[in-house]
Structure 1
């Protein structure tokens, strides 16, 4: 410990400024942690070799391997061993889950993929270089993103496509309400084509979190192939996790292709009741688009829709028509056509425009209308700035984002690549005991006194903390 303190002080003393000092300290600690991690792995390899000898294995050679962890690059030596009539192996690699040819640790893979799912590859390259003790090319970032996205895709499909092969939960959830929303997100594909990300989400309600709200029991589903594939995932998920016999299902969409009432109704067969709502965001966009020549009437039309009174609707549209300038034939024709189209849209969707409170579902029921805002992680990543995507590229990004939102990304990495899970074999446990005995335990007294120096104005909280530290 004294040597480390001496070297740290020397680094700080020889630095011209705080930034340089911190950079040197980060590099120093990275090198130090990497070195002792390598020593620990070699110690474990020694113990594993002894355990494998008891099983009849013999040492063939001892060579070096390098793995990049989040804290730094670790070099270590380990033994290659072989048993008669069996394939040679590296016991340390096998027991620790170090994959052949993989230079990155699983945590590093996961973190790089998360950063790359939210920004462009070169920004991820820059972020990794700034915030970690190593650098990575943007092409390598892409390969990591593709790999992790494929793992999440396999994880999702293995659990939701062939449900006959999935272990059924003992108890299904019973909830009073279930909210389901669906919508598509367009993006630019290669060869001047347009692709679509099909998204569906479910939630059990909304709860307050300070001034903000969050969805309860939210789960997200995506497909870059077709809306039908996304609906299959949702239907199987509901079958596996929910008993809807006493549940009121409330669905919400813009009514576009693939998101009609019939699609929602098909997957909730057997529910207590199904109420479908036309998405308010898209209705308001339609009103803004059609009545752009009379913006002062837009709020009145929205109020009439909330009242769900067709006579009020007709009154507002008649008023809008009365403002049309009849001395400009082309303008008159266009504006009349806009009113006709808007009236037809409202008429077709009239049943779905009825507010939930008028359907006897309560005044304060909340849980729909969030699908558009939940588009943002996807739209920010795949749209704009001249981005064009291959089918595989956009699919992998979408699955990483979905894994993060559903909190399944780490499960996907560990379960789809089971080597990353330490095997916990008898040999491994015995080797850990032996390795622990080889290292002499050192007790550390720790800090007995401390204080906080601050130049700012006095603070009661800082004062209390300072007092606690000074009496430890």
Structure 2
């Protein structure tokens, strides 16, 4: 500890400005953490090797590995072990849940993906590089987003396989659905299919919050509808529940589709979204438009009629106009502005990320990945930091020394061009 304290004091004294001081201290602290983590991982690898030897494994070789973390690059050496008749494994990689060829830590991936849901990939890379000791490109950010989207889907699949939770007895459940069109690659159109389920609305200042709201979204209609049906029948005991559905009447958002989700409920009422009805009324100018409007209202009056005028067993609150469309904003702000276009896979990954964060499931998604199944840490682990404190203090890098060539001739001469090239080399 005395060595580290001495190094901190020396860094503070040798710094000319507060920015220089803070940057040097940050580099020192990160270097200390990376060193400690590297020693800890190698210590853990030795303990894992001892346990695996008891199971008949032998050490084949030792290989190095580097992982990019928020604090920078962490390097360590671990053992590859093999048992006769079985494929070789790295016990430490298995313990840390490091996948083959994985270059980034789970926390770094989580933070990068979070940032990417609110700004473009280039801006995300710039932000992460400024606030950490990493050096990411926008292509790397895209790759992390795609991996995180796959992780969200895997977590949802695991949730479906788990035992059902205790059902919630809600008197009324509201379910809404609508689509959001995006610009796809090669002049194609993509659509985000969204569903939201909630038990009512609560006024908070000038805004309204959904009570126990849950959101489903995907670029695939069947996937969204399947998840909505799973959630409805897993979360609620619908036999004593009134279900109020709302849609614009487009393909896949009519009464019949919602009736499947509400199967087994006490009472189901479907409502045509008021926002779309008002838009049709306001867009009526010519006589032929009036005739079309009359036919539309006649054909859909069963769903256009206000809920408080229908024969229902209980009084329910009306669904506000454009309620589902308001939930589009978090997707449209990220995915529609500035002429952005998406591939099917990339759009699906981004939709899954935004939805997981909106449902406050983001920590659970990465928490599922981070679970460890084996913890053979012994009392020797407590001595790791003591070893780190006794290490030789970090020697700060002095940087590249710049020099010049005295040409004593014109800049266009061969020697002048060489001198100019050497002067520009530090920029490359």
Q: Same fold (TM over 0.5)?
A: yes
Structure 2 gap segments, 5+ residues each? 388-428
**Structure 1 pair 14–51 and aligned structure 2 pair: CA distance change class (3 A):** same
**Structure 1 pair 10–367 and aligned structure 2 pair: CA distance change class (3 A):** farther
- Aligned position for 2:372: 422
**Structure 1 pair 170–131 and aligned structure 2 pair: CA distance change class (3 A):** closer
- Aligned position for 1:281: 275
Q: Matched residues in 1 for 2:385 and 2:230: separation? A: 54
What is the 5 A alignment of 1:313-352? 335-352=286-303
Does the Cα contact within 8 Å between 1:252 and 1:368 map onto a contact in 2?
no
Q: Deviations over 1:116-135 (max 9, x none)?
A: 22221111111111122112
Does the Cα contact within 8 Å between 2:184 and 2:341 map onto a contact in 1?
yes
What is the 5 A alignment of 1:52-63? 52-63=52-63
- Aligned position for 2:107: 107
Pair 1:169-2:120 in alignment: no
CA drift at 1:258: 1.3
Does the Cα contact within 8 Å between 1:185 and 1:375 map onto a contact in 2?
yes
Q: Deviations over 1:23-55 (max 9, x none)?
A: 333332222211111121122223333333334
CA drift at 1:438: 4.3
- Aligned position for 1:191: 186
Q: Matched residues in 2 for 1:346 and 1:158: separation? A: 44
Q: Matched residues in 2 for 1:170 and 1:63: separation? A: 45
Q: Matched residues in 2 for 1:194 and 1:234: separation? A: 24
Pair 1:436-2:381 in alignment: yes
Pair 1:48-2:19 in alignment: no
Pair 1:399-2:359 in alignment: no
Does the Cα contact within 8 Å between 1:357 and 1:363 map onto a contact in 2?
yes
Q: Matched residues in 2 for 1:88 and 1:231: separation? A: 42
CA drift at 1:200: 1.0
What is the 5 A alignment of 1:63-462? 63-157=63-157, 159-160=159-160, 166-169=161-164, 171-209=166-204, 212-226=207-221, 228-290=222-284, 335-359=286-310, 362=315, 369-413=322-366, 415=368, 420-424=370-374, 428-429=375-376, 432-436=377-381, 438-439=383-384
TM-score normalised by L of structure 2: 0.80
Q: Matched residues in 2 for 1:106 and 1:435: separation? A: 26
Range 54-63 or range 117-126, more displaced? 54-63
CA drift at 1:343: 4.1
**Structure 1 pair 65–435 and aligned structure 2 pair: CA distance change class (3 A):** farther
Q: Deviations over 1:50-95 (max 9, x none)?
A: 3333344333333321111223321112223334444333222222
Q: Matched residues in 2 for 1:10 and 1:338: separation? A: 81
Does the Cα contact within 8 Å between 1:47 and 1:435 map onto a contact in 2?
no
CA drift at 1:272: 1.4
Partner SS, residue 191 of structure 1? helix
**Structure 1 pair 103–202 and aligned structure 2 pair: CA distance change class (3 A):** same
Q: Matched residues in 2 for 1:374 and 1:195: separation? A: 18
Range 173-182 or range 63-72, more displaced? 63-72
CA drift at 1:254: 1.7
CA drift at 1:180: 0.3
The count of residues paired between Structure 1 and Structure 2 equals: 385
Q: Matched residues in 2 for 1:278 and 1:21: separation? A: 63
Q: Matched residues in 2 for 1:19 and 1:341: separation? A: 69
**Structure 1 pair 347–23 and aligned structure 2 pair: CA distance change class (3 A):** farther
Q: Deviations over 1:239-265 (max 9, x none)?
A: 233211111111112222211122112
Partner SS, residue 22 of structure 1? helix
Does the Cα contact within 8 Å between 1:181 and 1:368 map onto a contact in 2?
no
**Structure 1 pair 173–363 and aligned structure 2 pair: CA distance change class (3 A):** closer
CA drift at 1:339: 3.7
Q: Matched residues in 1 for 2:333 and 2:351: separation? A: 11
Range 183-192 or range 353-362, more displaced? 353-362
What is the 5 A alignment of 1:10-21? 10-21=10-21
CA drift at 1:146: 0.9
Q: Matched residues in 2 for 1:225 and 1:440: separation? A: 50
Considering only aligned residues, what root-mean-square deviation do their CA atoms show, in Å?
2.8
Range 38-47 or range 208-217, more displaced? 208-217
Q: Matched residues in 2 for 1:337 and 1:423: separation? A: 69
TM-score normalised by L of structure 1: 0.73
**Structure 1 pair 244–21 and aligned structure 2 pair: CA distance change class (3 A):** same
Does the Cα contact within 8 Å between 2:284 and 2:290 map onto a contact in 1?
yes
**Structure 1 pair 435–91 and aligned structure 2 pair: CA distance change class (3 A):** farther
Q: Matched residues in 2 for 1:123 and 1:275: separation? A: 46
Q: Matched residues in 1 for 2:94 and 2:163: separation? A: 31
